[in-house]
Amino acid sequence: MTTSAQKAVWSALDEISRVPEDVQADFCFPDRTDGFLPKGGEHAKYTDNVDLCDRFCYWHHHRALHAGHPFIHTPAYQNIVNSEAELSCLAQSIVTSLWDFFRNEEQVTIRDSSYIQLCMYERKYQEDDRTYLQDRHEDGHLITLIKPTRDGLVIFLNDREIPVHLADDEVIVITGSLLTLLSDGQIPTMYHAVRNPKMELARKSLVYFAIPDLQRSYTTLLGKNPINVAAFADESHRAFGNTPLI
C-alpha cells in the first residue's frame, strides 16, 4: 500500500471504535447493507454460522445518501472515504492488469459496484465452541483486499490451512469465484477464514470487495462465452445474508 493508503486505513480502523452509539444507530441502513450493521447480520454461506463481529459497510455510490447524518463529519468517516478511494485505485489496477494479461480489450470498471467493509471482532463475541470467528468461505467477487490489525486470517491451499502474516504496508489479495468463472477456471478461488484466538484479543479488519459494473454484459476472458455477471454476483452477495446488489 502507498503511504497515504496506510495512513487512511490504519486511522479508519483506529477511529471506528470511538464513534458514539447514538451516532452509529443513526447511520444504520440494513436495507442496502450500508453503515453500522450489528453482529448476526452476515453468515458464512456454507455453514450458516454467523460471523462473530460487528461490521460497517461503505459504498462509494451511496455517498449522496449519507448527507445530513452526523457520522459523515467524524474522522472515522473521512478516513473510510479516503481508504475507499485508495483501495479502489489499487483494486482497479489489479483488475486492469489481469484483463491485459489475458489480452482482453474490454474495459472493466469496479468502483460503483464495490464497497468497503470494516469488521470488528470484539472479545465479548468470542465463543469457545467455534474454531473460526468467520468460517471458511470465498467471497464470490472478482478480488478482495484485506488489511487486518493483527493475525488471525488464514487461507486454504489444497485444504491445508495457512496463517497470513502481513507487514504494515502489505495487503492480501483474495481471488473470488467470479474471477474464476470469468477466467474460464484459470484463476482459482481462494478460500479463507478468521481463526478464533486462544486468548481474548480484539481484532479489526478493513476489507475492499471488488465487484465489476453490473449494468453491462460480459464474456469470459478466454472462451469469450457470454456470462451473466450481475446474477452471479448478486446470488453470492445474498448468500451471506446481505440485501440484493441488483
Q: Give tens-digit pLDDT for 49-95.
A: 999 999 999 999 999 999 999 999 999 999 999 999 999 999 999 99
Residue 10's pLDDT band, with cuts at 50, 70 and 90, is: very high
Instruction: Using a cut of 0.75, tell me whether the model's pTM lies above it.
Output: yes
**Whole-angstrom distance between the N-terminal and C-terminal Cα of the chain?**
31
Question: Domain 3-239, what fold?
Answer: Jelly Rolls (2.60.120)
pLDDT of residue 198: 84
> Checking DSSP bridges between strand 143-148 and strand 203-210, what pairing results, if any?
antiparallel
Residues in Cβ contact with 239 at an 8 Å cutoff, skipping those fewer than 6 apart:
45, 140
Place of cell 470498471: 109
Per the CB < 8 A criterion, the answer to whether 204 and 151 are in contact is: no
- Packing angle, helices 3-15 and 75-101, rounded to 10: 130
- How far apart CA 58 and CA 141 sit, in angstroms, is 16
Domains of the chain: which residue ranges? 3-239
Residue 150's pLDDT band, with cuts at 50, 70 and 90, is: very high
